[in-house]
Amino acid sequence: MNSARVREYDYYLFDADGTLFDTTDMIVRCFKNTAKVYGLPQPDREAILRHVGLTLRKQMECYFGELSDEAFNRYRDTHMAYQLEIYREHLRLCPGVAEALHCLHERGKRCAVVTSRMLHTLSIYLKETGIDEYFSALITPECTSRHKPDPQPVREAIARLGGAVERALVVGDSTYDIECGSRAGADTAFVLWSCNPAESLGATPTYFFSDMRDLCVW
């Protein structure tokens, strides 16, 4: 693992779930509830964690099989309604996130969220955790036609920030984040509080770190 000090960048692109937010238990509960409501096979926790980072539809199809638009819309509405019922019990920031974002903001860095979470709940969770003010762009599945691990979401974020990909760092907790950033030509960082082991990565990150505040030690 590369434990070298993280160099300074102009643009910082963050995944949401598992990177900014510790939402693991909430996500697992939501999929299990959706399966229960519709009498579907219960996905196990390990399978759910492996697929966090994909779009909701892709995740559901991993557990419930191919879905028609009508079935997906029905499952999605139930899934998200339940999530909004329980999120206050589970939502919290990952270690050092608030401090790191404040530091980057004070140093004039521009930040974006690049996530497979839909905009509605992303906006709620950013506001609830008090970090919404730090982001100049939010790239969600509504913004692009292709999604992680395709590089399009990172490229869209860089375009909206008016930046250059070689001056950007993509921070995430899954192979989808690291592959997306690497394929776009950005440096990447994998967070070691991830539920997924480093051995699961399909691309080698530029950095590994265990606390978001490592971003501010130049």
Catalytic residue positions, numbered: 15
Q: At 123, which amino acid appears?
A: S
Neighbours of 48 (CB within 10 A): 20
Q: What stretch of H or E contains 184?
A: helix 175-184
Cβ–Cβ under 8 Å, residues 94 and 22: yes
Task: For residue 169, report the phi and psi dihedrals to the nearest 5 degrees.
Answer: -120, 130
CA distance 197 to 174: 9
Q: How far is Cα 178 from Cα 168, in angstroms, rounded to an integer?
A: 13
Cα 177 to Cα 192: distance, rounded to the nearest angstrom: 13
- Give the rounded distance of the alpha carbon of 110 from its chain centre: 17
Residue 208: φ, ψ to 5°: -125, 140
Contacts of 53 (CB under 8 A, 6+ apart): 15, 17, 18, 116, 148, 172, 173, 174, 175, 176, 177
CB-count burial class (<10 Å; 0-12, 13-18, 19+) for 91: middle
